[in-house]
Structure 1
């Protein structure tokens, strides 16, 4: 997309505004499937927690993907978007047996990540096809909050608990059809991924009737000019060869599954915000925008970097700015960042705003959530309206008059 397109959308739909480029999502999907074209059975399950707008789910469904979900609400959204139940994988963490049983009744593939629920579910439903999520104890990812495969992680069944796992499966006669792992996000070194894959293969050998192996995702995308990223093509070449060899050893062609979220939608997203005020202090120039961590929390929560451009005056002289929000907290998007000279009323564009941005938005300070627009075939289509005051009050119940007197 070009700056003029983004400015036109901001004028048309207002700001703050999230914009998603359908063509970029498609190209990322094609890139991943091409990298693993040597695998006979490949399945891509989009990790919808990254961006769960129904229109985005429908777009990705048309590309041929399934869904990776982590809650019953995500499952319901997937079904609403038109996904068949057998195209949806459900990988929760810390949920009740009742929620898992409710999702199972919908015909969705269940993935269980702890021994307690595994034993309870297997005892009650021994014939249901179940996937098991293991923890390979591999530290990987760009931030501790998104590194989920290490020894202290709450996710998955430890590989050191494999004897207990096998005993539960034997005692319940469960129908185990898949093994799953996910080590974290922003994994750059493909050798780490390949190392974890060998652990997954070793565990898979313990089960006789598997149908698939789920390798999760966590591929790193570039966040700034000349930034490094996961070499998907090299990973595809090496892992495909090793996976095919394992299938030969196993005696059966298994399905290779990935769960990309950020990889598919991060670079497709743009967040547009207007500059409310330029504030000079003794040492800093602040550019205060009409947004805050209520709309984009990743820089504060993960320390993530989003490239920021002044698309209103892209060729202006660069100066150093600290870009901050309007929330009554310290909500700094960038410190002393070189940006083309900013004036009040300019539109700033945040790149890589497709993943874990709107999906983590809130109404903190009673601010409205922004609109979302999908850019497809050269046109912008509104896929979520900006909230209004009625939305804030929608589920609130006023205090009865009789109870208001104390």
Structure 2
């Protein structure tokens, strides 16, 4: 996507208004070229080592997005049986998929293993069960909690001491005892620190903890440092310096491999980093309400389509695509849900009029995947623009879709 000098926004040369006319409002639009660029950035940053990208597909599970990832050599990290099945439908072999559960029923883990996926064990009880069930006949990774707090928001920090994720590094002796008891084949250690991390220092800190822990596991093939790279949400926003991160982590990893005695593979599991910037949520202004306290812009969407501002207090840059050069005014941009669903407060926008199309940037991650039918509202269609062509990749829901699982009609 690009913003040209005359402030006209286009997606590979396609006017968003044309997409609204064709597919309706609201509408999710994904730019395939942006996804390709983000993958290339990560590959380039770590070009000097044996690195693999595992897309954390909880960010966006549209099958066309998954197929695009597969096409450009990205494998998958999934967190549920549903995501695993979507990966297979998108053409992935099960052995290209890592299953990283979080306290799930063990039958889900068994199904993933029997499918051929590699499981990332996140608790001592699961490790004990795995050993009893498979011994040394199946490999697995262990998710280590390094007890490091980092990330842009407390709700998206996943490696601190109070986090539910992973096995505390302080329990290393207990981990080793279970591994030895059942002769479990541990081929990798994993950690995920959190999201929106812009500096290399937290990655280096957790990497050192993982490298030190790895010395106790002689058969490792993989070190998995998760994801969490920061993306740009607002003009001038700082992001993860991928060149610096790639250089510093690569140097540290090469040193570790020399000390370990052989070359291992370094994995990363970015989700939002790969797809967030590709996404645009288009919505149409329904009412402009000039109130003594605030000017409100109401749109035909709400937290049921983009919950991140209400859930995380996240910022999404908003464009008035219909009147980009209008006089700047200050608005609260709000949704149509019977609940407080504010997208932006005191946001300066070119004058907004009824019928104007607004574009919400960074809607490629956790937009549709966190959407709901709250207030019996329908979810929008999804369009992927790739190689200059717009393709409908999910149709708009209908009332029949909402009713088809109910049994007393």
Corresponding residue of 1:75: 84
1:263 to 256, 269, 273: 273
1:289 to 289, 294, 299: 299
Measured in 2, the distance between the counterparts of 1:15 and 1:106 equals 39
1:99 aligns with 2:108: yes
1:338 aligns with 2:348: yes
- Please state whether the residue corresponding to 1:105 is helix, strand or coil: helix
Alignment of 1:162-181 (within 5 A): 162-181=172-191
- Please state whether the residue corresponding to 2:194 is helix, strand or coil: coil
Measured in 2, the distance between the counterparts of 1:207 and 1:217 equals 23
Structure 2 runs not aligned, ≥5 long: 2-8
Measured in 2, the distance between the counterparts of 1:146 and 1:391 equals 32
1:357-389 CA-to-partner distances (Å, cap 9, x unmatched) read: 110000000000000000111121000000001
- Please state whether the residue corresponding to 2:55 is helix, strand or coil: strand
Measured in 2, the distance between the counterparts of 1:98 and 1:50 equals 24
Corresponding residue of 1:116: 125
Measured in 2, the distance between the counterparts of 1:144 and 1:255 equals 30
Measured in 2, the distance between the counterparts of 1:102 and 1:82 equals 18
Q: Contact 1:181 / 1:216 at 8 angstroms: preserved in 2?
A: yes
Q: Report the TM-score when normalising by structure 2.
A: 0.96
Corresponding residue of 2:5: none
1:190 to 176, 189, 200: 200
Measured in 2, the distance between the counterparts of 1:314 and 1:74 equals 39
Structure 1 runs not aligned, ≥5 long: 400-406
Corresponding residue of 1:316: 326
How many aligned residue pairs are there? 398
- Please state whether the residue corresponding to 2:297 is helix, strand or coil: strand
1:16 aligns with 2:26: yes
1:355 aligns with 2:365: yes
Q: Contact 2:200 / 2:248 at 8 angstroms: preserved in 1?
A: no
What is the aligned-residue RMSD (CA, Å)? 0.8
Corresponding residue of 2:148: 138
Q: Contact 1:97 / 1:121 at 8 angstroms: preserved in 2?
A: no
- Please state whether the residue corresponding to 1:294 is helix, strand or coil: coil
Corresponding residue of 2:211: 201
1:156-192 CA-to-partner distances (Å, cap 9, x unmatched) read: 0001111110100011110100000001000112111
Measured in 1, the distance between the counterparts of 2:263 and 2:61 equals 32
